[in-house]
Amino acid sequence: MLDILFLKDYIGGKNDGELMMEQFLEAPRWVDEKRVAEVTGLAVQTLRNWRFQGTGPAYSKVGRAVRYRLEDVIRFMELRRVKPFK
């Protein structure tokens, strides 16, 4: 379901699998666009453009607040993962 390598990068490169999962489960499930930009390395404006165009990771909107589920962001990035041939 979740790619452990991406999870490792998100948490900060810890080697202990249990510690990584524990930290992930303690992390907020819903994050704002600024946090998504930090996690993915994308610009906040890119996320805004994608929302306007109807592309990008799934999000929820309550009033003016936009929130992304971390699981959706990870899934979005994993689906676009390119594996080298060599």
Tokens of 72: 């959706």
Rg (C-alpha) for the chain, rounded Å, is: 14
**What pLDDT score does 19 carry?**
65
In this prediction the pTM is: 0.66
Most confident of 18-22, 23-27, 49-53: 49-53
What the chain holds in terms of domains, given with CATH numbers, is 4-79 (1.10.10)
Answer left, alpha or beta for residue 63, where phi above 0 means left and psi between -120 and 50 means alpha. Answer: left
**What pLDDT score does 73 carry?**
93
pLDDT-derived band at 4, boundaries 50, 70, 90: very low
Q: Which helix (H) or strand (E) holds 31?
A: strand 30-31
Per the model's pLDDT, the better-predicted residue between 7 and 77 turns out to be 77
Q: Which helix (H) or strand (E) holds 68?
A: strand 65-69
